[in-house]
Protein backbone atom coordinates (compact mmCIF):
# COMPACT_ATOMS: atom_id res chain seq x y z
CA UNK A 1 0.00 0.00 0.00
CA UNK A 2 1.42 3.36 -1.02
CA UNK A 3 1.91 6.21 1.43
CA UNK A 4 -0.63 8.28 -0.49
CA UNK A 5 -3.28 5.57 -0.19
CA UNK A 6 -2.57 5.14 3.51
CA UNK A 7 -2.97 8.88 4.05
CA UNK A 8 -6.20 8.95 2.08
CA UNK A 9 -7.69 6.11 4.12
CA UNK A 10 -6.62 7.69 7.39
CA UNK A 11 -7.97 11.14 6.52
CA UNK A 12 -11.17 9.70 5.08
CA UNK A 13 -11.88 7.78 8.27
CA UNK A 14 -11.23 10.87 10.41
CA UNK A 15 -13.46 13.08 8.23
CA UNK A 16 -16.32 10.57 8.37
CA UNK A 17 -15.89 10.28 12.12
CA UNK A 18 -15.92 14.05 12.53
CA UNK A 19 -18.96 14.42 10.27
CA UNK A 20 -20.94 11.92 12.35
CA UNK A 21 -19.88 13.71 15.52
CA UNK A 22 -20.76 17.15 14.10
CA UNK A 23 -24.21 16.00 12.98
CA UNK A 24 -24.89 14.45 16.36
CA UNK A 25 -23.90 17.64 18.17
CA UNK A 26 -25.87 19.83 15.73
CA UNK A 27 -29.10 17.83 16.16
CA UNK A 28 -31.64 20.08 17.90
CA UNK A 29 -33.55 18.90 20.95
CA UNK A 30 -36.20 20.64 23.08
CA UNK A 31 -33.67 21.97 25.58
CA UNK A 32 -31.49 23.74 22.99
CA UNK A 33 -31.70 27.51 22.68
CA UNK A 34 -32.61 27.21 19.00
CA UNK A 35 -35.72 25.16 19.89
CA UNK A 36 -37.09 28.17 21.78
CA UNK A 37 -37.46 30.02 18.48
CA UNK A 38 -40.22 27.62 17.37
CA UNK A 39 -43.92 28.12 18.13
CA UNK A 40 -43.68 24.74 19.86
CA UNK A 41 -40.85 22.22 20.03
CA UNK A 42 -42.05 19.09 21.73
CA UNK A 43 -40.74 16.91 24.53
CA UNK A 44 -38.21 14.38 23.18
CA UNK A 45 -38.58 15.83 19.65
CA UNK A 46 -35.49 16.06 17.47
CA UNK A 47 -34.44 18.05 14.42
CA UNK A 48 -31.64 16.01 12.91
CA UNK A 49 -28.57 17.49 11.25
CA UNK A 50 -27.56 18.44 8.68
CA UNK A 51 -30.57 20.76 8.52
CA UNK A 52 -32.34 21.87 5.40
CA UNK A 53 -33.66 25.39 4.92
CA UNK A 54 -35.64 26.45 8.00
CA UNK A 55 -37.08 29.90 8.63
CA UNK A 56 -39.93 31.73 10.36
CA UNK A 57 -39.57 29.22 13.18
CA UNK A 58 -42.11 31.07 15.32
CA UNK A 59 -44.81 29.78 12.97
CA UNK A 60 -43.61 26.14 13.04
CA UNK A 61 -44.86 23.59 15.58
CA UNK A 62 -43.16 20.21 16.13
CA UNK A 63 -45.02 17.75 18.35
CA UNK A 64 -43.75 15.64 21.23
CA UNK A 65 -41.48 12.73 20.27
CA UNK A 66 -41.48 13.76 16.61
CA UNK A 67 -38.35 13.12 14.56
CA UNK A 68 -37.48 15.46 11.69
CA UNK A 69 -34.91 13.75 9.46
CA UNK A 70 -31.74 15.26 7.99
CA UNK A 71 -31.92 17.81 5.15
CA UNK A 72 -35.63 18.45 5.77
CA UNK A 73 -36.83 21.92 4.77
CA UNK A 74 -39.46 23.54 7.03
CA UNK A 75 -40.64 27.04 6.15
CA UNK A 76 -43.51 29.44 6.73
CA UNK A 77 -43.87 32.17 4.12
CA UNK A 78 -41.14 33.32 1.78
CA UNK A 79 -38.66 34.71 4.31
CA UNK A 80 -37.94 34.81 8.01
CA UNK A 81 -39.40 38.29 8.50
CA UNK A 82 -42.82 37.66 6.98
CA UNK A 83 -45.86 38.02 9.23
CA UNK A 84 -48.17 35.06 8.74
CA UNK A 85 -51.96 35.01 9.17
CA UNK A 86 -52.11 31.66 10.99
CA UNK A 87 -50.15 30.64 14.08
CA UNK A 88 -48.78 28.06 13.71
CA UNK A 89 -48.70 27.98 9.93
CA UNK A 90 -47.15 24.50 9.87
CA UNK A 91 -48.15 22.08 12.60
CA UNK A 92 -46.68 18.57 12.90
CA UNK A 93 -48.27 16.30 15.50
CA UNK A 94 -46.92 13.85 18.06
CA UNK A 95 -44.67 10.87 17.31
CA UNK A 96 -44.29 11.68 13.61
CA UNK A 97 -41.27 10.78 11.47
CA UNK A 98 -40.46 13.08 8.54
CA UNK A 99 -38.10 11.40 6.06
CA UNK A 100 -34.80 12.90 4.98
CA UNK A 101 -34.82 15.51 2.25
CA UNK A 102 -38.54 16.22 2.60
CA UNK A 103 -40.01 19.72 2.18
CA UNK A 104 -42.96 21.13 4.14
CA UNK A 105 -43.59 24.61 2.77
CA UNK A 106 -46.44 26.49 4.44
CA UNK A 107 -48.05 29.82 3.55
CA UNK A 108 -51.61 29.42 4.81
CA UNK A 109 -52.13 26.25 6.87
CA UNK A 110 -50.51 22.81 6.87
CA UNK A 111 -51.61 20.43 9.61
CA UNK A 112 -50.15 16.96 10.09
CA UNK A 113 -51.85 14.75 12.68
CA UNK A 114 -50.19 12.36 15.11
CA UNK A 115 -48.05 9.31 14.29
CA UNK A 116 -47.60 10.19 10.62
CA UNK A 117 -44.56 8.83 8.82
CA UNK A 118 -43.11 9.84 5.48
CA UNK A 119 -40.50 8.34 3.23
CA UNK A 120 -37.67 10.49 1.89
CA UNK A 121 -38.15 13.48 -0.40
CA UNK A 122 -41.84 14.07 0.27
CA UNK A 123 -43.09 17.53 -0.74
CA UNK A 124 -46.05 19.14 1.03
CA UNK A 125 -47.25 22.65 0.17
CA UNK A 126 -50.37 24.77 0.55
CA UNK A 127 -49.49 27.22 -2.23
CA UNK A 128 -49.47 26.92 -6.02
CA UNK A 129 -48.46 29.23 -8.84
CA UNK A 130 -51.30 30.76 -10.83
CA UNK A 131 -51.46 30.93 -14.61
CA UNK A 132 -54.75 32.76 -15.29
CA UNK A 133 -53.02 35.64 -17.11
CA UNK A 134 -51.69 34.03 -20.27
CA UNK A 135 -49.62 37.13 -21.14
CA UNK A 136 -47.74 37.23 -17.85
CA UNK A 137 -44.95 34.87 -16.74
CA UNK A 138 -46.35 32.24 -14.39
CA UNK A 139 -43.68 32.92 -11.77
CA UNK A 140 -44.79 36.57 -11.44
CA UNK A 141 -48.49 35.91 -10.96
CA UNK A 142 -50.17 35.96 -7.55
CA UNK A 143 -50.12 32.40 -6.16
CA UNK A 144 -53.20 30.63 -4.83
CA UNK A 145 -53.38 29.03 -1.39
CA UNK A 146 -55.51 26.30 0.18
CA UNK A 147 -55.12 24.54 3.51
CA UNK A 148 -53.65 21.03 3.73
CA UNK A 149 -54.59 18.48 6.40
CA UNK A 150 -53.18 14.96 6.76
CA UNK A 151 -54.95 12.58 9.09
CA UNK A 152 -53.25 10.83 11.99
CA UNK A 153 -51.63 7.46 11.39
CA UNK A 154 -50.99 8.06 7.69
CA UNK A 155 -47.98 6.92 5.66
CA UNK A 156 -46.62 8.89 2.70
CA UNK A 157 -44.20 6.96 0.49
CA UNK A 158 -41.01 8.31 -1.05
CA UNK A 159 -41.34 11.28 -3.43
CA UNK A 160 -45.03 11.85 -2.72
CA UNK A 161 -46.29 15.35 -3.57
CA UNK A 162 -49.19 16.80 -1.55
CA UNK A 163 -50.75 19.78 -3.32
CA UNK A 164 -52.78 22.68 -1.88
CA UNK A 165 -56.32 21.91 -0.79
CA UNK A 166 -55.63 18.27 0.04
CA UNK A 167 -57.31 16.59 3.01
CA UNK A 168 -56.37 12.99 3.84
CA UNK A 169 -58.33 10.91 6.32
CA UNK A 170 -56.84 8.87 9.13
CA UNK A 171 -54.58 5.88 8.42
CA UNK A 172 -54.20 6.73 4.75
CA UNK A 173 -51.43 5.08 2.73
CA UNK A 174 -50.03 7.02 -0.23
CA UNK A 175 -47.90 5.04 -2.69
CA UNK A 176 -44.46 6.31 -3.66
CA UNK A 177 -44.40 8.97 -6.35
CA UNK A 178 -48.09 9.86 -6.11
CA UNK A 179 -49.26 13.43 -6.70
CA UNK A 180 -52.23 14.11 -4.43
CA UNK A 181 -54.94 16.73 -4.55
CA UNK A 182 -58.46 16.53 -3.18
CA UNK A 183 -60.34 15.17 -0.18
CA UNK A 184 -60.13 11.49 0.74
CA UNK A 185 -61.75 9.47 3.55
CA UNK A 186 -60.14 7.37 6.28
CA UNK A 187 -58.37 4.07 5.59
CA UNK A 188 -57.71 4.18 1.87
CA UNK A 189 -54.68 3.48 -0.32
CA UNK A 190 -53.88 6.18 -2.86
CA UNK A 191 -51.56 6.02 -5.84
CA UNK A 192 -50.89 7.48 -9.26
CA UNK A 193 -50.64 10.87 -10.96
CA UNK A 194 -53.09 12.32 -10.19
CA UNK A 195 -53.67 10.10 -7.17
CA UNK A 196 -56.85 8.07 -6.88
CA UNK A 197 -58.18 5.45 -4.48
CA UNK A 198 -56.65 2.05 -5.25
CA UNK A 199 -57.99 0.19 -2.22
CA UNK A 200 -60.39 0.98 0.61
CA UNK A 201 -61.33 -0.69 3.86
CA UNK A 202 -64.83 -2.05 4.44
CA UNK A 203 -65.92 -3.12 7.92
CA UNK A 204 -66.58 -6.84 7.99
CA UNK A 205 -64.89 -7.40 4.61
CA UNK A 206 -61.41 -5.96 4.99
CA UNK A 207 -59.45 -4.31 2.20
CA UNK A 208 -61.32 -4.09 -1.11
CA UNK A 209 -59.70 -3.18 -4.43
CA UNK A 210 -60.86 -0.13 -6.35
CA UNK A 211 -62.47 3.18 -5.41
CA UNK A 212 -65.23 3.62 -2.87
Residue 164, pLDDT score:
97
Q: Is the pLDDT of residue 80 over 90?
A: no
What's the pLDDT tens digit per position in 20-59?
Answer: 999 999 999 999 999 999 999 999 999 999 999 999 999 9
Q: CA 124 to CA 41: how far, in whole Å?
A: 20
Confidence of residue 66 (pLDDT cuts 50, 70, 90): very high
| Closest by Cα among 31, 26, 55 to 43 | 31
What domains lie within the chain, and their CATH numbers?
27-209 (2.160.10.10)
Run of H or E residues at 73? strand 73-76
| Mean pLDDT over the full length of the chain | 94
What's the pLDDT tens digit per position in 106-141?
Answer: 999 999 999 999 999 999 999 998 888 898 999 898
Q: Is the pLDDT of residue 10 over 90?
A: no
Contacts of 101 (CB under 8 A, 6+ apart): 52, 69, 70, 71, 72, 120, 121
Task: Select which of 39, 51, 129, 200 is catalytic.
Answer: 129
Residue 130, pLDDT score:
87
Catalytic residue status for 31: no
Residue 77, pLDDT score:
92
3-state secondary structure 154-178: CEECCCCEECCCCEECCCCEECCCC
Run of H or E residues at 196? strand 196-202
Residue 177's region, left for phi above 0, alpha for psi from -120 to 50, else beta, is left
Residue 106, pLDDT score:
96
Amino acid sequence: MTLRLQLRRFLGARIRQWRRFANEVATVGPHDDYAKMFHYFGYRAALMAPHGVIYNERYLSIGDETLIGPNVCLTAGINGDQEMLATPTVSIGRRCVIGRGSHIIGHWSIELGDEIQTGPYVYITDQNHSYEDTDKPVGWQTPSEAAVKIGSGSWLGANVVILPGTTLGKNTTVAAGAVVRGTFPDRVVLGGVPAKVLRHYVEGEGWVAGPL
